[in-house]
Amino acid sequence: SQQGEEDPQALSIQEGENATMNCSYKTSINNLQWYRQNSGRGLVHLILIRSNEREKHSGRLRVTLDTSKKSSSLLITASRAADTASYFCAPDSWGKLQFGAGTQVVVTP
Amino acid sequence: NAGVTQTPKFQVLKTGQSMTLQCAQDMNHNSMYWYRQDPGMGLRLIYYSASEGTTDKGEVPNGYNVSRLNKREFSLRLESAAPSQTSVYFCASSEPRGIDYGSYTFGSGTRLTVV
């Protein structure tokens, strides 16, 4: 399965702290994407990193990709209460995304 | 606002009933997808349509059918609902070419309960 697997399953931090979550996958990919899901809502695309990229930034988000280790990480800096959500990685091969179970992040004020 | 619209938002069915979940996108995307999400799990792909006129099975297609009515619309049909199909269903679209190719836009979901 090409499904991404996130680690940890849950993360609890305080506002202002950084949150890091990891993703592993099994086969070659075209790109890897990260999504956020607020409770009861649809998924929102955060960032896409292509297989020939190693690092990408978007606002307070930093994503790394190591294709030799088949792994990626998502760093959220200076977290806010509004960052409370589930975060999913999704490896993309042949145009189809397969999602893992996600990392549930809780940011307390 | 541009995006993916799903209807209905909530639905309760009795076992054996049928229904169609509707999805429409106004971004002129070629590809559309249906996923289901069960508690504590990620999204699992049911069916997808790479372009108008084509549909293919995903990871969990049993019990479902789809229709790509035109470029905008992609519907999901449950012919005989079962309690195991109780889930939240998400439609998504993507554009496989161009600068932004690869990222998906999701609808807000349909919460389906089969009793």
pLDDT of residue B98: 61
Which residues 14-73 of chain B have a CB within 8 Å of chain A?
31, 33, 35, 40-45, 48, 50, 58-59
Distance from CA of A38 to the nearest CA of B (A): 11
Q: Report whether pLDDT(A94) > 50.
A: yes
Give the whole-angstrom CA distance, residue A74 versus residue B43.
Answer: 19
Which of A3-7, A52-56, B9-13 has the least mean pLDDT? A3-7
Confidence of residue A1 (pLDDT cuts 50, 70, 90): very low
Summarize pLDDT for B43-88 with one digit per residue, the tens.
Answer: 999 999 999 999 999 999 999 999 998 999 999 999 999 999 999 9
Mean pLDDT of A2-29: 91
pLDDT of residue B99: 56
A45, A97, A100 member nearest B105 (Cβ) = A45
CB neighbour list of residue B33: distance below 8 Å, 6 or more residues apart: A96, B45, B47, B48, B49, B58, B74, B91, B92, B93, B94, B104
Distance from CA of B107 to the nearest CA of A (A): 6
The number of residues making up chain A comes to 109
- Site from A45, A53, A92 to mutate, B interface, most B CB atoms within 10 angstroms: A45
Question: Which residue of chain B comes nearest to A48, CA vs CA?
Answer: B103
Q: Report whether pLDDT(B115) > 80.
A: yes
Confidence of residue A28 (pLDDT cuts 50, 70, 90): confident
Q: Report whether pLDDT(B1) > 80.
A: no
Backbone angles phi, psi at B30, to 5 degrees: -85, -40
- In 10 A of CB A61, how many CB atoms? 16
Average pLDDT, chain A: 92
Could you tell me which residue, A8 or A100, shows the higher pLDDT?
A8
Mean pLDDT of B28-55: 92
Residue A29 CA: distances (Å) to CA of A4, A50, B84, B97: 11, 8, 32, 16
Q: Report whether pLDDT(A39) > 80.
A: yes
Mean pLDDT of A26-36: 91
Which residues 12-31 of chain A have a CB within 8 Å of chain B?
30-31
Contacts of B45 in chain A (CB under 8 A): 96-98
Give the whole-angstrom CA distance, residue B87 versus residue B26.
Answer: 25
Mean pLDDT of A72-94: 94
Confidence of residue A41 (pLDDT cuts 50, 70, 90): confident
Contact criterion met (CB < 8 Å) for A42 and B58: no
